[in-house]
Amino acid sequence: MPLIEEIHTWLRRHLRGPPDLVDCDFSVSGPDRLLVADMACVRTWLGWAYAVFVLGVYPR
pLDDT score of 59: 66
Q: Between the CA of residue 9 and those of 1, 2, 4, 19, what are the distances in Å?
A: 11, 11, 9, 20
Select the more confidently predicted residue: 9 or 60: 9
pLDDT score of 47: 94
pLDDT score of 5: 76
Please state the domain extents for the chain: 24-60
pLDDT score of 60: 53
pLDDT in tens, 11-60: 777 777 777 777 777 778 888 888 888 999 999 999 999 999 998 888 65
Q: Are 48 and 41 in contact (CB under 8 A)?
A: yes
